[in-house]
Every structure is written in structure tokens, then in C-alpha cells.
Structure 1
Amino acid sequence: MNISQVSKKYQLSADTLRYYEKIGIIPTVTRDSNGNRMYSEQDLNWVYFAKIMRKAGVSVNALVEYIALFQTGREQSMAQRQAILLEEKRKLEEQIDNLNEALSFLNTKIDDNAEHLAKFEERLDEKNHKTV
């Protein structure tokens, strides 16, 4: 598969695929005689892995580190890779907590605004009754 086919299949831009290759998230892809990337099944597995890890919220930096550890030895780096994932999980949970706090604040503002508008509308209604 060429880069545009892979891009379409995985809904990742060609720039993203090139970037992932450049920083080591996916291994160097073989090129044809014209210098175009030709993705093998193994390359596609790496692209899929990168996509699902990013979708799971793993940062690019953590993913680079994770893959570098994986490539040094799957068994030897298991604990370190698990630690990376646990740290990424902690960061996501912190982000979720922050978003929930922001949402709560916004909901309060919406509720307060509705109450404020209702009071103002009462004043508008009182003025209409007084002038009639």
C-alpha cells in the first residue's frame, strides 16, 4: 500500500504517517524504486498500533518511549512499558477531573444565568402590566 492508501484506510494524514516514521513511532517504511513509501502488512500493524494508542490518550512522547523500550526487548521492558501506560492513565484521569470541574462550574453559571434571566423577565413582564 502507498501512503495515500494507508492514510485513507486509517484516517491519518500522510503528514502524520511521515511524522510517526520520522520520530520512531512506526519503523522506517520500505520505499519503491521511485522513493515512494510502500507499507507492508507489518508496517500496517505498526500504524494501527500507533493509532489505537493515540486514541487511548497516550501522548506522542510516551509512545515514542514505549516503542523504543519495546524494540530493546519485549520481555525485558515489560515493567517499564507498563509504568508508562500507568502514568498516561494518571494524566488522563487528572484531565478528566479538571474537565469535570470546569463542566460543573459552567453548569452552575448556566443555572445562575437562567435564574437571572427569569428574574429579569419578571421585571419585563411587570412593566408590560403597568403600562397596560
Structure 2
Amino acid sequence: MSLTTAARVRPEGQEHFSISEVVSFTGLSAHTLRWYERIGLLNDVHRSHTGQRLYTNDDLDWLDFVRKLRLTGMPVADMVRYAELVRAGDQTMTERTQLFREHREVVKQQIADLQTTLAVLDFKIEFYEGVASGCTP
């Protein structure tokens, strides 16, 4: 499932979710969820007495944030570094801020590039609509 696919809304009042429910809520694959846990991007996933992963609402909120970072193109290594900084505590706020400031510049450039591309697409659409309606450029 793609990152832009609409995920199912999670039910209110429920505190623990199976991996299949999290797949449904987030659009991430079970493989990706396990990988996130393995690389330290998702920390301390609770387990049932049978060893089954039990995700919390906090885990789902974190995954939603990670999804947003992925949409911006943030490298996984930077996301893992951010997760490590969060776990290290409040004394890392300056480093976290710097990490996001640097990535914000990358996102601003992506937006500028997309705006330029959008202008080209708009021009082409206007051109082809003009040709189709019998107007010559």
C-alpha cells in the first residue's frame, strides 16, 4: 500500500492493536513495522503473553509522524537518529531542532521544485486546451 493511501480510522477507547490492525490503520506493511522495530525507529513494542506484538495509541501516533517524515523524503538514518534523540531525553532538544531545521530546508527546496514543475504542467494544459479548442498559440 502506498504512503498516500487513506488509512482506516482507529477505534476510540481501544488501547492495544495487533500488527494486522496497525497495517490497516497506517497502510504500512507488517514487514515494514517489524523492520522499523528492528532498526530502532519504533521502540519497545509491547508483547502479549504469547509473544504477539501489541501496539499502543502512542505507537500509532509515532508511526503517523514517521509517515509524514517519509513523505518529505527524510532519510531513514535521520529518522532513526531522531528516535534515538527522543529516547535520550530533553537534553537533546537542541540537536532535534537542528535536525529538523536542516531537513526543513530540503523540504522547502522540494516545494519550490514542485511549484516549478506545476507551472510547467499548467502551461502544457493551457497550451493543449487551446489547441483543442482551435486557438493557436
Q: Which runs of 5+ in 2 are unaligned?
A: 1-16
Runs of 4+ in 1 over 4 A off after TM superposition: none
How many residues matched? 116
The match for 1:115 among 126, 130, 137 is 130
Q: Which runs of 5+ in 1 are unaligned?
A: 121-132
| Larger gyration radius, structure 1 or structure 2 | 1
- Give the residue type in structure 1 aligned to 2:109: E
Match of residue 82 from structure 1: 97
Percent of residue pairs bearing the same amino acid type: 30
| TM-score, scaled relative to structure 2 | 0.68
The match for 2:115 among 100, 118, 125 is 100
Matched, 1:68 2:84: yes
Kept in 1, the 8 Å contact 2:26–2:63? The answer is no
Deviation at 1:11, TM superposition (A): 4.0
- Partner Cα separation in structure 2 for residue 46 and residue 105 of structure 1: 41
| TM-score, scaled relative to structure 1 | 0.71
Kept in 1, the 8 Å contact 2:19–2:54? The answer is yes
In terms of fraction of residues, the more helix-rich structure is 1
Kept in 2, the 8 Å contact 1:69–1:77? The answer is yes
